[in-house]
Amino acid sequence: MKQILLATTNKGKLHDVKEILKDIDVEILSFLDFDDYPNVEETGFTFLENAELKAKAAFEKYGIPSFGDDSGLESFQLNGEPGIYSARYAGEDADDEKNNLKLIKKLSQYPEPHPGRFVCAAIYYDGKEIKSAMGEVRGNIIKSPRGNNGFGYDPLFIPNGYNITTAEMSHEEKNKISHRLNAFKELKKYLLLILFTLMVVVGCKESTTESQPDINSADYFPNSDGNYYYFNISAGDSSGLVQLGARKNYYNGDTTLFQTQYQIKIDTFIINGIQSVSKSFFRKSNSGVFNYVDIDTNGFTAIIPDSLRGAISFDQEYRLLYQPLELFQTWSVYKITVNYLSFQFDVFTIDAQVISKHTIDFTYRDSTVTKEVFTIRYTAKLTTDLNQSPSTFTAISEIAEGIGFIRWEGDSELINFFAGVNVYPLNSIVIEELDSFKIN
């Protein structure tokens, strides 16, 4: 029987997951089965990041395929609070009662109803593959706790379609609609595939076939050397001025930067007849696509005031993609922190969310193929004055399975960041549309 370790000491959570997976041939362990389990700090900026931290810590400690999950309550009126801080909303040592009281107090300044949702992010990690899933249940938050069957914020939450709180539901009722159920049901599909694959491997002789380039692969970021993409581009500002041109990028070899292996991408821009060439570096892993950040040339430098440049600290990479892609998935792309006059604040952040999924027909090598396409929204916030609201920049991208990015549209400031160079004029809207491509 396959063992999977759930990175938790929460008996209620363990019981929930065992119930969800009870009809498949796996044994669910938890940290309660070990005396020396790791204390995983939830330092992520999203539920998915925290779940990934837990799953990886569990696997690295015991070498057992692991689940990590993170969940919480989000109030729409409070811009997502308590969110990832749900368990410690009223402080590091807070209990459920204190957290609930703080939430009730903050909601008292807003009219009823108080809409919100329970969110759960779940990760499966076995040292090679990482799979993620999101689940949610929407409803309203009330100000008077009701029920004794749940924990956390259950006494304050009434799911849509019900007139009782999740703390007033039986365990069976709650499990039918829970955010954790929705997330782990998705991972359950993957586990069934793993178990089926194991049976096939055991029952069949090993065979070797020559791999062939395949546009029908589920890979959303093909990265073989020689791949190229040709985009038609336009950039327009509020005055109606439009710059037209083309962009071609291709992958050409690799290099090592700070002891990390990167592939090389060459970008050629031709805008209004003027050509420029730039080089950037990226690496692809099972968990995502990461781009190297060069502070001296990257496109974001033009929008950060000179007075703050000397005080910034930043990561050497940003996470362009989170793999595998899932609908409604969110992740932190990048963050720049400023230490200035004894203050510390985030001057520049980028977050991403998968907002839709659809299909599109492509003509490739004289045949038409239908591909799945994810739409991703990237949102950047720039803070240059703590007394003012941050400036917000957005970009929408589309990425097709077996092909890669096929369209970008959004603020030039953010698209310059991803291009790694200040190629588009500030305060303009940029559109890049794929015209042709070659996948090796």
* CA 361/CA 370 separation, integer angstroms: 4
Closest CA to 384 of 346, 357, 424: 346
- Which pLDDT score is estimated for 1? 62
DSSP secondary structure, 385-417, as one string: -TTSPPEEEEEEEEEETTTEEEEEEEEHHHHHH
* CA 62/CA 134 separation, integer angstroms: 25
Q: Of residues 69, 70, 267, 411, which has the active-site annotation?
A: 70
Phi, psi of 325 (to 5 degrees): -75, 135
Residue 417 or residue 210, greater confidence = 417
* Residue 282 pLDDT exceeds 50: yes
* Residue 128 pLDDT exceeds 70: yes
- Which pLDDT score is estimated for 57? 94
* Residue 123 pLDDT exceeds 60: yes
Burial of residue 142 (CB within 10 Å: 0-12, 13-18, 19+) is middle
* CA 103/CA 74 separation, integer angstroms: 10
Cis preceding linkage at 113, omega within 30: yes
Residues 6 or more apart in contact with residue 270 via CB below 8 angstroms: 245, 246, 247
Where does the pLDDT of residue 319 fall: very low under 50, low under 70, confident under 90, or very high at 90 and above? very high
Poorest-pLDDT segment among 111-125, 164-178, 394-408: 164-178
In the chain, where the domains are located: 2-202, 228-438
- Kindly state the DSSP code that residue 113 receives in the 8-state scheme: P
HSE-up (13 A, CA, CB side) for residue 415: 23
* CA 326/CA 117 separation, integer angstroms: 19
- Which pLDDT score is estimated for 189? 75
> Is 70 an annotated catalytic residue?
yes
- Which pLDDT score is estimated for 11? 86
Query: Is 0.75 topped by the overall pTM?
Result: no
Poorest-pLDDT segment among 85-94, 98-107, 108-117, 332-341: 332-341
Beta-strand ranges (E) seen in 202-273 are: 228-236, 242-257, 260-271
Phi, psi of 190 (to 5 degrees): -70, -40
User: CA 116, 119, 124: angle at the middle one, nearest 5?
Assistant: 175
* CA 82/CA 94 separation, integer angstroms: 13
Where does the pLDDT of residue 213 fall: very low under 50, low under 70, confident under 90, or very high at 90 and above? very low
* Residue 308 pLDDT exceeds 50: yes
**Encoded amino acid at 116, one letter:** G
Mean of pLDDT over the chain:
84
* CA 123/CA 184 separation, integer angstroms: 9
**Encoded amino acid at 433, one letter:** E
- Which pLDDT score is estimated for 204? 40
Which token pair is 173?
């009722």
Residue-level length of the chain? 440
pLDDT tens, position by position, 187-205:
887 776 655 444 433 344 3
Closest CA to 266 of 249, 281, 282: 249
* CA 281/CA 223 separation, integer angstroms: 12
Pick the CATH number of 2-202 from 3.90.950.10, 1.10.1370.30, 3.40.190.10, 3.40.50.150: 3.90.950.10
Q: Is the separation of the CB atoms in 404 and 321 below 8 Å? A: no
Give the CA distances from residue 257 to residues 70, 106, 264, 420, in Å, rounded to whole numbers and listed in that order. 33, 48, 11, 16
Residue 241 or residue 188, greater confidence = 188
SS3 for 300?
helix
* CA 238/CA 277 separation, integer angstroms: 27
Chain centroid, CA 12 distance in Å: 27
Phi, psi of 417 (to 5 degrees): -60, -50
* Residue 34 pLDDT exceeds 80: yes
Q: Is the separation of the CB atoms in 147 and 167 below 8 Å? A: yes
